[in-house]
Structure 1
């Protein structure tokens, strides 16, 4: 539970050598704070500004360390991101100790959060808020406590790529997003590339995934293409084929699971600005997988979005598009068995 400081404490800067940033593509360190980036921060000018605004959010990013502390507090720099993500709407920070959920702490308007933790030596994971601007300035632990770089077992690496439905803003906390639920159930090392409103099959994102280490890749394609009219009937299928082929170039033996859009009742037969209904977009995603398999990609797999969350569970969409916390758990329950089969 959140705590009020007592006794003497000492601070760890966010760039302390005992802290490992997991789930980030790159980490930006400044004299005042650090934050994970879910794209290549060193090459950020090669990505659109709208995508960068989502990629600086900490979905799936964990700060990991070993300690014998009995309390852990933190201080972050938070901002409104030009009103897009008000500070008061930040999801909490989740505390995981030795792989087990322990607590969630709200991030206060001044950027502070805190936990009591079990006594003894342990590995602490702080799962950072999956939405909003959160830059970690420092952690604070008991003055007499030790910290060390936690040894981590080799785990299969899972990359998930998609839209806000993969970033999971509406999940109650960062460990309750579907990518986190799947990764933790299967003992995998997650990198979440869910970008709210920005899953447009960007060639530079495809190249980035191509060059990242991965043991399984899950790509959820199509919903932003409908919402923003990114592609039409002429251009969408080639974009799907190109994105998946680019990723495959860097991962010749890696299973890739493609998930077509989950249900969105009002969009199923409603043309996008480019003239494609969600039903057509779903069909194009599935056709892209079929064609690549016909051309020899036997490790490319399809999961129909309506089998992940279909019309019978549309009540789990709080706005007709985005799942709520229960909806994300429902998605995870459908996706985890498919990923387990691919891991072997």
Structure 2
């Protein structure tokens, strides 16, 4: 068996003429407009969903190996997503080395401890990257994804661009604790109940689905109080077409102490958004759907201490979110 990686956590794999692979978390063949280049920069001004979809957040591969070193060939982009998160190399589920990714083509070489060992490579959760080769100086056998699949959808708070590294986003920490096969559909600034996101979840087999809804809708003024409950209901209805009885967890916005009580341009406060999301979710009267109030995940005091800005937790905040959500996100017996 060769050492070709069995990457997991993506929707579509695109390989260019030079052998560079971009892992798309949404299928670019379904996009309604042309992309200008591999970074996801689109002709439609200000539309960032496809740039986010080209970021390999949650994409990873695993090997059993007796090699003494591994080399990853990776390319970091400039442009919209010029800041690229690091690559994490894990041995036996524990962080072994975290390597920065620069703009342009590079080879990252990591020394491995005496084997055999289980090696995981987690690709960056922020920025546009492509990969070409993973090379070992000894035997390495790719391992298929392990555990039941969990899909989580959300905003930058799910993509976790500010986490220490890709294996320490809150979804990665929860998935690693439970030994789940993670599909992370966190799109920074772009969690607006897009139909393609609902279809992607619908068409991807999973044992558990979680949806963190509302913060981008508040900030982007996407829906009014009249339209938001119906959009949530419609999104869930599409997901249910492919997952009739799969548990779904809907999480409303976490506390944002400096924004609470402030109406957006459509007159909605964060509490209004929470109420609309809850109404849309409860309208279905779905026995396999659970609601979590985001204000119970972190307290206002914790948010004030752990946020990097008005909305985003810092690295320790993401760790605490994982600690709080891990026991709440469970599979049925």
In 2: Cα distance, 1:109 partner to 1:50 partner: 20
**What whole-Å deviation, never above 9, does each CA across 1:200-257 have from its counterpart, x for those lacking one?**
0011211111111110001000000011100011111100111111111210110000
Change (3 A) 1:139 1:337: same
The 5-angstrom pairing of residues 225-236 of structure 1 reads 225-236=217-228
In 2: Cα distance, 1:66 partner to 1:135 partner: 23
* Residue of structure 2 in register with 1:270 after alignment: 262
SS of alignment partner, residue 149 of structure 1: strand
Q: Does 1:164 align with 2:151?
A: no
Contact persistence 1:23–1:191 (CA under 8 A): yes
SS of alignment partner, residue 327 of structure 2: helix
Change (3 A) 1:287 1:159: same
What runs of 5+ residues in structure 2 fail to find an aligned partner? 35-43
Aligned match for 2:63, one of 62, 65, 86:
65
* Residue of structure 2 in register with 1:28 after alignment: 14
The 5-angstrom pairing of residues 150-161 of structure 1 reads 150-153=143-146, 155-161=147-153
Change (3 A) 1:124 1:41: farther
The 5-angstrom pairing of residues 80-95 of structure 1 reads 80=78, 82=79, 84-86=80-82, 89-95=83-89
Change (3 A) 1:77 1:277: same
What runs of 5+ residues in structure 1 fail to find an aligned partner? 1-15
* Residue of structure 2 in register with 1:331 after alignment: 321
Change (3 A) 1:119 1:343: farther
Q: Does 1:43 align with 2:30?
A: yes
In 2: Cα distance, 1:46 partner to 1:240 partner: 25
Aligned match for 1:138, one of 120, 133, 136:
133
* Residue of structure 2 in register with 1:125 after alignment: 120
SS of alignment partner, residue 7 of structure 2: strand
Note the C-alpha offset of 1:272.
1.5
The 5-angstrom pairing of residues 1-344 of structure 1 reads 18-30=4-16, 31-45=18-32, 49-80=47-78, 82=79, 84-86=80-82, 89-110=83-104, 111-142=106-137, 145-153=138-146, 155-293=147-285, 297-314=286-303, 315-340=305-330, 342-344=331-333
Contact persistence 1:78–1:134 (CA under 8 A): yes
Contact persistence 1:24–1:37 (CA under 8 A): yes
Note the C-alpha offset of 1:109.
4.3
* Matched residue count: 318
In 2: Cα distance, 1:219 partner to 1:46 partner: 26
TM-score scaled by length of structure 2: 0.90
**What whole-Å deviation, never above 9, does each CA across 1:108-131 have from its counterpart, x for those lacking one?**
445332311122233321101100
SS of alignment partner, residue 261 of structure 2: coil
In 2: Cα distance, 1:330 partner to 1:46 partner: 39
SS of alignment partner, residue 267 of structure 1: coil
Higher alpha-carbon deviation: 108-117 or 268-277: 108-117
Query: Higher helix proportion, which one?
Result: 1
Note the C-alpha offset of 1:17.
6.4
* Residue of structure 1 in register with 2:40 after alignment: none
In 2: Cα distance, 1:236 partner to 1:178 partner: 26
TM-score scaled by length of structure 1: 0.87
